[in-house]
Amino acid sequence: MKLTLNKVEFAIEPVPGPVRDALLADPILRQGVSREVWRWDAATRTGSPLVAVTPQNGVPLPNGVSFFVARPGSATQKADGPSARMAERVLEAVGAKTITDVMKAINQIARLPQKTLPLKEFEALSAVASHTLRVHVDYAVVHAVNAARNLGLYLFIPGQCSFTARIDAVPDQAAYDKATEENARLTRIQPGFIIPPGTEANLMLRRMALAQRITEIQQSLGGMNPADLPADDLRRLTLARLGLEWQALNRPRKAA
């Protein structure tokens, strides 16, 4: 697969798991991976967004760009100077003044997705507790490379998202205790969603990234059936979640 940014062609490569983890550990990128988006006050029965939302309470799920050049001898440690120079060279090559210009181009290619706040899922909790909703985004990560000009950048495309609630205050402890006794999962609500691909490029980028992650996890099992892993094994849970997204991305487009 190839992408073109202002007439500069980039080949797309999958990203190994350790490199993906190193990229997503960046403090700036972490802001897109997990952030607070909504606060509910049970005493006043009012909610307020903590980020810019659409009239339909849709939360933007931003795409991302990173310039990462590894230190010699390490695939996962960033060389700050070379990474900064790579950013400058890519911006110059594609005729962009800032990274924001690059992001606008990526958003045109992959679309900027959003997800409506699942407030209904938290209605039972809202009745007895003030809380803050946080969105967690699972990103597809790929490497865009122009080998002839020694250019490279990493792209982050949202694939799935989920929401969790942090309890901030309990106005009526007795009512809260009764609610949690009747519903043991009340404080562990975590609705998750697969983000529909907005474009063919979005679909292809995510398929490539998913195939890499699924293959790596399967290889780590050494032939073991994922169903034989403990129910709380992270590899089993991740494979199940990624498998659902893979199925969604490989259905006929009208069905998806």
Residue 136 tokens, joined: 């967690």
**106-116 CB burial, b ≥16 within 10 A, e <16:** beebbbebbbe
Residue 83: per-residue pLDDT = 97
All structural domains of the chain with their residue ranges: 2-195
Q: Write down the H helix ranges in the chain.
A: 17-24, 27-33, 80-94, 99-110, 123-126, 173-182, 200-220, 234-249
Give residue 254's pLDDT band: very low, low, confident or very high (50, 70, 90): low
Comparing C-alpha atoms, which of 157, 147, 151, 138 is closest to residue 208? 157
Cβ–Cβ under 8 Å, residues 65 and 158 = no
Task: State the pTM of this model.
Answer: 0.91
Please count the residues of the chain.
256
CA end-to-end span of the chain, whole Å? 22
- pLDDT at position 253 is 61
Q: pLDDT tens digits, residue range 74-133?
A: 999 999 999 999 999 999 999 999 999 999 999 999 999 999 999 999 999 999 999 999
Query: Residues 196-203: what's their mean pLDDT?
Result: 94
Write the single-letter amino acid at 56. Answer: Q
Contacts of 68 (CB under 8 A, 6+ apart): 19, 22, 23, 78, 83, 86, 154
| pLDDT tens per residue across span 144-188 | 999 999 999 999 999 999 999 999 999 999 999 999 999 999 999
Q: How do residues 2-58 score in pLDDT, each as one tens digit?
A: 999 999 999 999 999 999 999 999 998 999 999 999 999 999 999 999 999 988 889
pLDDT tier, 232 (very low <50, low <70, confident <90, very high otherwise)? confident
State yes or no: pLDDT of 256 exceeds 50. no
State residue 255's pLDDT score.
Answer: 43
Question: What is the average per-residue pLDDT within 186-193?
Answer: 95
